[in-house]
Amino acid sequence: MKNNWEPKIVAFLCHWCSYAGADLAGISRIQYPPNIRVIRVPCSGAVNPLYILKALREGADGVLVSGCHPGDCHYLSGNYFARRKFFILHELLQWVGIEKDRVQFSWVSASEGQKFSQVVEETVEKVKKLGPAKKLVKEFTFHV
Amino acid sequence: MFEKEIRRKSEELLETKTVDMVIGYTSGSLPFQARPVLISSPEDTEQLVWNHFSSPNLARYLLPYRDSSKKIALLAKGCDARAVMVLIQEKQFPRERVHIIGLPCPGMISKTKLEKELGEIKEEDFSFEKDTFLWQGKKWEIFPFLEDTCSRCRYPNPPLYDELIGEKREPWGSSSTDYLEKINGQSEEERWQFWEEELSRCIRCYACRNACPLCYCKECFAESDLPRWVSGVPTLSDNLFFHLGRSMHLAGRCVECGACERACPEEIKIGLLPLKVEMIIKNNFSFEAGLSLEEDAPLLTYRETDPGEFIK
pLDDT tens, position by position, B167-226: 888 888 766 567 788 888 889 999 999 999 999 999 999 999 999 999 999 999 999 988
B105: containing domain: 3-164
A-chain residues near B227 (CB < 8 A): 54
The Cα-based distances of A127 to A9, A93, A100, B261 in angstroms read 8, 15, 10, 35
ipTM of model: 0.93
Are the CB atoms for B231 and A139 separated by under 8 Å?
A: no
AA identity, residue B5: E
**Type and span of the H or E element at B138:** strand B138-141
Cβ neighbours of residue B91 closer than 8 Å, sequence gap 6 or more: none
What CATH number should be reported for the domain whose range is A9-130?
Answer: 3.40.50
Going by C-alpha positions, the residue among B102, B105, B101 that lies closest to residue B10 is B101
Judge whether B145 lies within some domain.
yes
> Structural domain tally of chain B?
2
Q: What is the pLDDT of residues B280-301, one digit of tens each?
A: 999 999 999 999 999 989 999 9
Please give the residue of chain B at the shortest CA–CA distance from A115: B312
A-chain residues near B231 (CB < 8 A): 138, 140, 142
Mean pLDDT, rounded, of chain B: 91
The verdict on B43 and B113 lying in the same domain is yes
Judge whether B63 lies within some domain.
yes
Cβ neighbours of residue B269 closer than 8 Å, sequence gap 6 or more: B148, B198, B261
- Cα A140 from Cα A144, distance rounded (Å): 13
Which of residues B164, B198, B220 is at a domain's end? B164
Name the β-bridge partners of B101.
B75, B163
Q: Which of residues 194-233 of B touch A (CB under 8 A)?
A: 194-196, 221, 225-231, 233
Judge whether B309 lies within some domain.
no
B-chain residues near A60 (CB < 8 A): none
The verdict on B141 and B19 lying in the same domain is yes
Which of residues B133, B164, B195 is at a domain's end? B164
Its pTM stands at: 0.93
Q: pLDDT at position A39, please?
A: 97
Which of residues B111, B138, B164 is at a domain's end? B164
What is the residue extent of each domain of chain A?
9-130
